[in-house]
Structure 1
Amino acid sequence: MTVTLAADSGRLPEYPMELDSAQSQRVERLLAGTVISLHDHPIRLPDPLTAETWKLHSGQSADVFGGDAIVRSGLNVVLASALAEPDQRRLLSWAAAMRPQLLGPELSGAESLALAMRGEGSAVLLALEDLGSIGTDLVGIEELYRAGFRSAGLVYNTGNALGGGLGQSTDGGLTEPGRRAVAMLNDLHMLVDLSHVGDRTSIEAAALSTAPVVISHAGARSLWPSARMKPDDVLRAVADTGGVIGIEAAPGSTRVSADTTHDLDAVMAHVEYVAELVGVDHVGLGPDTFFGDHTQLYSAAGWSPQPVPGYERLALPDYVAGMENPAEAPRNAASWLVRRGWSDADIAKVLGANAARVLESVLR
């Protein structure tokens, strides 16, 4: 059976921004600058997406990168994440299959980044949701680095040998292997990502790191009481390293109320909140999107998003209007900020200048 893949454009109606001519010109100028996604899954999902098509795709097919749409979007750099995967061999195989699609010539992360910053193509750097696949064998981090990964989450929701995850009732903080893992990531010039990490472990990892750290895809818990969002002290801890918080748009994540739709307005409310809390120099975009039906992926793959206390029965939206895929997210974010009255300088920081500063500092 051949699995049909979702289109990388035109799958859903365009989000209506209703810009006037001057605003549209500002958006185009901004998109001609540095535009970076700190976290996306820029692959084409099966369409239709069912348990059967997902099983077939996962077992028989390599992921297909939506490269044409990325180039059209204005994105210079995308940190393309593997799905959470406990099997090291599968991660290494995924990287081997993706690298020819993503990177072209064999370049270091820094070399790809430098080319993209000069406007010479789009750099797509491989990233990891977490390091659960290595267990306590830190040699596995070096394997992942050699495979092309340049950013790594320490821990996924359920925690691992390195520290506590955001889904655990108790977060015991960084373990000794976790402390050594942070040091190794620093030494390898890999980005330390705290997106799925528990609060205590996040603060300890940020304090330990000798390089800026990131939350590549999350939002503010003060706006939405999900463990998947980050409390103010964690957001400040990341900013104190010189790092960046990428605001995500996975369905059901960056809400602001159970009574409102999860859409572009809700996502950008988290951008504004984080900018006000820690400064505009420490906020960016990490939409955490696919080309295809993200909401249906949860059902097809048998995954359950982290429940929100008091809102367990709140249904996921069919999609996040205005932030549905990796290609539309930066344009609509820029348009929203223009309409909101942000300055070009501050919009440029959110779109990519902040992330570029961190990537240029960390990658070698």
Structure 2
Amino acid sequence: MMSGKSHPSTEAKGEPYRAYAYLGAESELSSLSSIELAPEFDRVPPYEDSLTADERERAQRLLNDSLVISLHDHPVRFPLRMGDTPEHYRAGRQYTAYAGLLASGMNVVFDNMMDGTACVTGRAPWRWNDVIADLGHRLADLAHQDRVVPVRTLRDIDRIYQSRGIGIVFGLEGAMPIENELDRIDILFGLGIRQLGIAYSDSNALGSGLNEVTDGGLTAFGRRAVRRMNQVGMAIDVSHSSDRTALDACHCSETPVFLTHAGARAIWDTPRMKPDSVLLAVAETGGVVGMSAAPHTTISMSHPRHSIDSVMDHLLYCIDLLGVEHVAFGPDTLYGDHVQMHKIFSSLLGTGEQKSVLTYEPVPYVDGLENPTENFGNITNWLVKRGFCDDDIRAILGGNIYRALGSVWPHLM
């Protein structure tokens, strides 16, 4: 892995490319021109911290020099009015937030494409044709610029790190689109997908999701799918799987398993968080647990108003339980009103995993971890302020993920 990264400003090579600019002003997308997209900067007030000048200099140095990987985000611009989102996504295109990404300090972001909300050909999400169309549109758009590029190998990550660029690892939060066709895993891999979730809330042919009353675990087909993912080199995610399904996947997998965006149930007792047994099982595979910051998920009893401090309570717990070598961040953020997005799509994505009898204060956004542009600057600042050493900060920011991917993508060096 190369060293000496220094992130360019968004003005370093002129104005950043804007999504689908290659089509020109007069295109088939013009019908969507009346739908205003959320801004990439300054949607909410900046997070206020209390770093000294020396701490801030150290934090900036670490952010600049470290390999920074988000294990789960949605780096696309949603409509400013979230109610316009269903109409917007039925057009079959998501708008990569190029300027926001280039100012984020990240090198690599795992992008799960929001296919659960696309619903291009009907009201049911996660359809095969919609997923393929989504991926094709995104890749076509990326191909018309060279500052944000697809990632398929560890060598890609090394090149991006050295060249001070940013890469996108495409993935899916759930394996519903493969239905019961094992070869579709190979097809997705061939098209550039490098990470696949077992289930998203509801059960599918592979196993149970978080919404199920009865946890059936990984199916026989799911076990074959895990083996195929191991064989082809697909990273496995169990974030939205049921507890038993996650445990079964960890026990069946011969490569590290990822919990890309979640938290600890011992800190906030809801189905969306994972119990110690699952956290430990992921770590035992050599995998990594990414801390999520999706609104009203990784709350804590100490910080019931969801903020970066709530999320860090989960981080500290997981470090104590698993060791610093098995933690990272998958903030699960986007450009737009994430709170309203949850409300708009609750009927499509399912609400069972969000239900809680615990009392918390609703927030309009998660202060300090509101969008992909601000996340890792604030994360680094927080870790510096709390006295983490340089090596541990580098591991948390991306080193742990890179190490685990080396066992998932070994033939892709």
Settle same-fold status: TM greater than 0.5: yes
CA distance in 2, matches of 1:302, 1:202: 23
Aligned to 2:192: 148
Q: Does 1:287 align with 2:331?
A: yes
Residue in structure 1 matching 2:74, options 41, 47, 71: 41
Distance of aligned partners of 1:88 and 1:316 in 2 relative to their CA distance in 1, 3 Å threshold: farther
Amino acid at match of 2:165: G
Residues 151 and 168 in structure 2, CA contact (< 8 A), matched pair in contact too: no
The amino acid of 2:226's aligned partner reads V
8 Å contact kept, 2:305–2:361:
no
CA positional deviation for 1:314: 5.5
Q: Which 4+ stretches in 1 moved above 6 angstroms?
A: none
Report the alpha carbon displacement of residue 274 of structure 1 after superposing the two structures with TM. 0.5
Which residue does 2:181 correspond to in 1? 137
1:329 aligns with 2:375: yes
Residue 86 of structure 1: SS of its match in structure 2? coil
Partner of 1:186: 230
Q: Which of 301, 308, 315 is 2:345 aligned to?
A: 301
Of 252-261 and 266-275, deviating more is 252-261
1:18 aligns to 2:58 (yes or no): no
Which deviates the most, 247-256 or 345-354? 345-354
Deviations 1:58-108 (Å, cap 9, x if unpaired)?
A: 122511111222121110110011223420110011000112344757763
Determine the C-alpha separation between the residues in 1 that align with 2:382 and 2:169.
27
Cα distance 1:332–1:137, how it changes in 2: closer, same or farther (>3 A)?
Answer: same
Partner Cα separation in structure 1 for residue 302 and residue 322 of structure 2: 26
> Is it true that 1:56 corresponds to 2:102 in the alignment?
no
Equivalent residue, structure 2, for 1:128 = 172
Give the drift of 1:112. Answer: 2.4
Distance 1:204 1:346 in 2: 30
Q: What CA deviation, in whole Å up to 9, does each residue of 1:248-268 have, x standing for no partner? A: 000011000397210010011
Is the CA contact 2:333–2:370 (under 8 Å) kept in the aligned structure 1? yes
What TM-score results when the alignment is normalised by the length of structure 2?
Answer: 0.83
User: Partner residue of 1:246?
Assistant: 290
Matches within 5 A, 1:1-364: 2-32=34-64, 33-50=66-83, 53-60=84-91, 62-83=93-114, 84=116, 85-102=125-142, 108-257=152-301, 260-303=304-347, 305=351, 306-311=353-358, 316-363=362-409, 364=412
CA distance in 2, matches of 1:258, 1:164: 31
Change (3 A) 1:354 1:102: farther
Distance 2:374 2:151 in 1: 27
Unaligned runs of 5+ in 2: 1-31, 117-124
Q: TM-score, normalised by structure 1?
A: 0.94
Q: Tell whether the 8 Å contact from 1:54 to 1:301 is kept in structure 2 after alignment.
A: no
Q: Does the CA contact (< 8 Å) of 2:126 and 2:176 recur in 1?
A: yes
Q: Secondary structure at the match of 1:217?
A: strand
Distance in 1 (CA, whole Å) between partners of 2:228 and 2:90 is 33
Residues 6 and 165 (structure 1), Cα distance of their counterparts in 2 relative to 1, 3 Å cut:
same
SS of match in other structure, 2:260:
strand
Larger radius of gyration: 2
8 Å Cα contact 2:150-2:168 kept in structure 1:
no
Greater shift, 261-270 or 131-140, is seen at 131-140
The DSSP-based 3-state class of the residue aligned with 2:82 is: coil
The runs of 5 or more residues in structure 1 that have no matched partner are none
Distance 2:361 2:190 in 1: 41
- Give yes or no for contact 1:206–1:241 (8 Å, CA) kept in 2: yes
Q: Is the 8 A contact 1:99 1:148 kept in 2?
A: no
1:308 is aligned with what amino acid? Answer: K
- The structural deviation recorded for 1:309 is 3.6
Contact 1:251 1:294 in 2 (8 A): yes
Identity %: 37
State the AA in 2 paired with 1:99.
Answer: L
Give me the whole-angstrom Cα distance separating, in 2, the residues matched to 1:16 and 1:69. 19
The residue type equivalent to 1:91 in the other structure is: V
Alpha-carbon distance in structure 2 between the residues aligned to 1:309 and 1:298: 15
1:218·1:245 contact (CA, 8 Å) conserved in 2?
yes
Matched residue count: 361
